[in-house]
A and B are shown apart, each in its own frame.
Chain A
Amino acid sequence: SAVISQKPSRDICQRGTSLTIQCQVDSQVTMMFWYRQQPGQSLTLIATANQGSEATYESGFVIDKFPISRPNLTFSTLTVSNMSPEDSSIYLCSARYNYGYTFGSGTRLTVV
């Protein structure tokens, strides 16, 4: 299966600032996904990122708040912009491979 390296694993940020999360896949994948997970809760899809096209955002998520880049078939970034304490959560990236979906290890974000 594909392996995803996600960075950073955790961060504490000041409100009003931005954080960029990176995911590197060890093989080429067409589709990548970004999720948000509150502790003890399920995963909520933020957006789907295909290489060479604009990301597709789910209801309740907008590009100005969560800009995504997908420059090639092995890499993607998610930026959490103008952060507030409500953005404190775990963020995970995911990629589709031939057998299923693989996930990064997550980024625990705390906004103070």
Chain B
Amino acid sequence: AQTVTQSQPEMSVQEAETVTLSCTYDTSESDYYLFWYKQPPSRQMILVIRQEAYKQQNATENRFSVNFQKAAKSFSLKISDSQLGDAAMYFCAFSQGGSEKLVFGKGTKLTVNP
């Protein structure tokens, strides 16, 4: 079974600084997708970024980028120029083949200090 591990229950960052959230996963499959979701106190799950396993290039969305290390099964999220609105729970998630259920990590609570 696929598993997703987020080893940082909590992280904090100063406004305008950069922070990296860690995620590792375990799978024997070659076709899969990885996601980072943000969940603010409103409970709404917001897709931050996604990565297809077959793509070597790391995904980037504005201030958010990933470091995808397929051999190491690592998928970290870098947030640049952190803003107060980035404060939230961040979940790393895995989907086999992109059409199956999402498997979530336990989450990392990010605090942004002014």
B28 at the interface (CB under 8 A from A): no
Docked Cα-Cα span, A48 to B96, in Å, equals 14
Q: Is the CB of B99 within 8 A of A101?
A: no
CB-defined contacts of B25 to chain A, threshold 8 Å: none
B92 to chain A, nearest CB (A): 10
CB-defined contacts of B95 to chain A, threshold 8 Å: 101
A81 at the interface (CB under 8 A from B): no
Q: Of all chain B residues, which has the CB nearest A92?
A: B45
Q: Is the CB of B44 within 8 A of A105?
A: yes
What is the 8 Å Cβ interface bit string for chain B, positions 92-114, against chain A (1 contact, 0 not)?
Answer: 01010001011111110000000
Q: Is the CB of B50 within 8 A of A106?
A: no
Interface size on B, residues (CB 8 A): 19
Q: Is the CB of B35 within 8 A of A106?
A: no
Q: Is the CB of A48 within 8 A of B101?
A: yes
B43 at the interface (CB under 8 A from A): yes
CB-defined contacts of A30 to chain B, threshold 8 Å: 99
Q: Of all chain B residues, which has the CB nearest A45?
A: B101
CB-defined contacts of B103 to chain A, threshold 8 Å: 45
What is the 8 Å Cβ interface bit string for chain A, positions 89-112, against chain B (1 contact, 0 not)?
Answer: 010101010011111011010000
- B-side residues, CB < 8 A to A, are 33, 35, 42-45, 47, 50, 91, 93, 95, 99, 101-107
